Structure 1
Amino acid sequence: MRRPALLAAGTLGLISVLAVSACQPATSDAADQPDADAPITFATTPLGDDPTAANPIDAFAEVLSEETGREVEIRDVPDYLSVVEAIRSDHVDIGIMSGFPSALAVNTGEVDALAAWPGNDDPVSTCLVLADSPVQSLEDLRGGTIAFADQASSSGYFMPVHMLHEAGLEQGTDYEPLFAGGHDGSFVALEQGQVDAACTSTLFPSMTGTDMFPFEEGETRSVGESEPMAIQMSILSRQSLDEETRTLIQDALPQVFSEENAEELGVLAEGTLGVELMLDPEPAVYQPFVDIAAIADVDLSDLG
């Protein structure tokens, strides 16, 4: 089911790049294919490099294929913004995104939200330091360097920046950010002493000793946790997706994200089980992300 990496127009490392490209017309063979017969294409960023570990992305594709009766092809892209651009440009049919990339995409006015899972009351981000670090609180990070996953990551950038702001620390003034290109890169930077802290999802510390989190229990500790998120995860689609495929995917999602598939889906199932799925969520549900993004000097509402 997996195909070679999608050739995006370079790594879209800045949200402003997407803002410009969102105003350009989309051209792709995807929109010209007979949708009812074509495979469902799915853009994603890589999740881990351990060849011995089960890949939740592959599991998602397999289960979605079983539930829809359609082949599902995976297209790897380098980062969250490239997922958004691949959907917006009609290169792929769908993508799974956390809250902030979803808000970014929806605010272009050129990407549809097929479904979304509301957040819960749990913190979504944590800032980790090594166990022997002198840092005891977020305030102790003043003057330090902090690793973030990606400039469009909810748990690895936007929510931690908001958390640090609430603690009185502003990016570029009170601390220097290091963008590691992914959560795994943040952990490497912390392990090698390149940064004073790594801000990431609260899910990862529970995966000690795995490819997802390379530390053993007790090697790191948290110095702060963020607020919850309004939306945990969204399924986004290109606007040219035919109605038959759109409905097929929406009907399949409750079966895909079910207790039966929880172990296979791993981190993708977090925050979805037992949570009522919203179909065709209105753009207004993403407004809390727009408000928090402003703290990171990103105005998502201007990306149309």
Structure 2
Amino acid sequence: MRRHTPPLVGLLGISALVVALAGCSSADGSDGPADASTITIATTPLGDDPTKANPVEALAELLESETGRSVDILDVPDYLSVVEAIRSDHVDFGIMSGFPSALAVSTGEVDALMAWKGSDKPVSTCVVLDESPVRELTDLRGKTVAFADQASSSGYFMPVYMLHEAGLEQNTDYNAIFAGGHEGSFAALEQGQVDAACTAIMLTELGEPMFPFADGEWRGVGQSPSMPVMGAVLARPSLDDETRALLQDALPKVFSEPNAEALGALGAGFIGLDEILDPAPAEFQSFVDIAAVAGVELADLDG
């Protein structure tokens, strides 16, 4: 049986995660969730449209089918909280994009079960309303830009790097705000609170309910580079060998083309990409330079 457990309180930003991960081991010294017959996963919100199937529920159903175990879902507000839930032994694993994966793996506080290799496609763009005078990235000088959250690959790290390459530095050449997620960024843009919302190109292609703007209402300005690793499955280091092997066998089957519609946005960024089992920390090393542009020195978090 699947059940949602109460959400953990979210961390406030990258600095909070740095402190938590760089200096701490498991919060209570436990060996993780007590019920070995249940797999627990921490997930972030993926839209709130009650008329649409929840891809997290679909993930749980598919994982139950492949593993023969029940799955519990812990709802948390952002990637930072996913990492903290894993590190603190509250859950067995979580799935996240490249940068928060690199941040967590670099500390040695979490275990990487699997990663998806990147493609050669650009990751991010900055969305503006169609009537906006912004036509290119340099037009954002002096403007206010919304980012998803401080641990989002497509909603923060990659667009900040893209803007840096265009000669714009955050909070010097443009004002940066964090909206708590892609959905919050879109709402801020729609309400006129910001001039642009930087997000994943993939979300703009999915349309509603993940992307609220219809054709003709918006434009994408700029495209970021691709990423060498699109995402990873991170687990608590205390995870037993049997469950570890079970997940490594099941997850590639779950994230496969026949399940693309059911998984929606959750699978869109990963399905069709090559998997790497037991990825070494070196697989994430190329994120360091880009992260440094956003003011996060991943290399400083080793050990």
Give TM-score, length-normalised by structure 1. 0.95
Q: Is the 8 A contact 2:32 2:239 kept in 1?
A: no
Indicate how the Cα distance of structure 1 residues 215 and 32 shifts in structure 2: closer, same or farther if over 3 A, else same: closer
Q: Which residue of structure 1 aligns with residue 127 of structure 2?
A: 128
Q: Is the 8 A contact 1:30 1:91 kept in 2?
A: no
Indicate how the Cα distance of structure 1 residues 126 and 31 shifts in structure 2: closer, same or farther if over 3 A, else same: same
Q: Which residue of structure 2 aligns with residue 250 of structure 1?
A: 248
- The CA RMSD over aligned residues, in Å, is 1.4
Indicate how the Cα distance of structure 1 residues 33 and 79 shifts in structure 2: closer, same or farther if over 3 A, else same: closer
Aligned-residue offset at 1:290: 1.3
Q: Which residue of structure 2 aligns with residue 98 of structure 1?
A: 97
Moved more, 267-276 or 292-301: 267-276
Moved more, 270-279 or 96-105: 270-279
CA distance in 2, matches of 1:70, 1:198: 40
Q: Which residue of structure 2 aligns with residue 194 of structure 1?
A: 193
Aligned-residue offset at 1:284: 0.6
Q: Which residue of structure 2 aligns with residue 214 of structure 1?
A: 212
- Tell me the number of residue pairs that the alignment of Structure 1 and Structure 2 aligns: 300
CA distance in 1, matches of 2:53, 2:89: 29
**Residues 7-156 of structure 1 aligned to structure 2 (within 5 Å):** 7-8=8-9, 11-22=10-21, 23-28=23-28, 31=31, 37-156=36-155
Q: Is the 8 A contact 1:124 1:202 kept in 2?
A: yes
**Deviation string, structure 1 residues 36-65 (Cα, Å, up to 9, x no partner):** x33110001111111110111111111011
Aligned-residue offset at 1:3: 1.6
1:4 aligns with 2:5: yes
Q: Give the 3-state SS of the residue equivalent to 1:240 in structure 2.
A: coil
Give the alignment partner of residue 297 of structure 2, picking from 296, 299, 303: 299
Q: Give the 3-state SS of the residue equivalent to 2:187 in structure 1.
A: helix
Moved more, 17-26 or 227-236: 17-26
Indicate how the Cα distance of structure 1 residues 271 and 33 shifts in structure 2: closer, same or farther if over 3 A, else same: closer
Letter in 2 for 1:218: G
Letter in 1 for 2:205: S
Aligned-residue offset at 1:137: 0.3
CA distance in 2, matches of 1:237, 1:32: 10
1:160 aligns with 2:142: no
Indicate how the Cα distance of structure 1 residues 30 and 212 shifts in structure 2: closer, same or farther if over 3 A, else same: farther
Letter in 2 for 1:296: A
Aligned-residue offset at 1:130: 0.3
Q: Is the 8 A contact 1:3 1:75 kept in 2?
A: yes
Aligned-residue offset at 1:33: 5.2
Q: Is the 8 A contact 1:180 1:186 kept in 2?
A: yes
Aligned-residue offset at 1:91: 0.7
Letter in 2 for 1:2: R
Q: Which residue of structure 2 aligns with residue 274 of structure 1?
A: 272
Give TM-score, length-normalised by structure 2. 0.95
Q: Is the 8 A contact 1:105 1:111 kept in 2?
A: yes
Q: Is the 8 A contact 1:15 1:81 kept in 2?
A: yes
Q: Give the 3-state SS of the residue equivalent to 2:167 in structure 1.
A: coil
CA distance in 2, matches of 1:216, 1:264: 23
CA distance in 2, matches of 1:178, 1:88: 27
Aligned-residue offset at 1:270: 1.9
Q: Give the 3-state SS of the residue equivalent to 1:266 in structure 2.
A: helix
CA distance in 1, matches of 2:98, 2:249: 22
Letter in 1 for 2:24: Q
Q: Is the 8 A contact 2:32 2:90 kept in 1?
A: no
Letter in 1 for 2:253: Q
Letter in 1 for 2:270: T
Indicate how the Cα distance of structure 1 residues 34 and 77 shifts in structure 2: closer, same or farther if over 3 A, else same: closer
Q: Percent identity over the alignment?
A: 64
Q: Give the 3-state SS of the residue equivalent to 2:222 in structure 1.
A: strand
CA distance in 1, matches of 2:271, 2:18: 33
Letter in 1 for 2:209: D
Moved more, 243-252 or 255-264: 255-264
Q: Is the 8 A contact 1:19 1:108 kept in 2?
A: no
Letter in 1 for 2:7: L
Letter in 2 for 1:237: A
Q: Unmatched 5+ residue regions in structure 1?
A: none
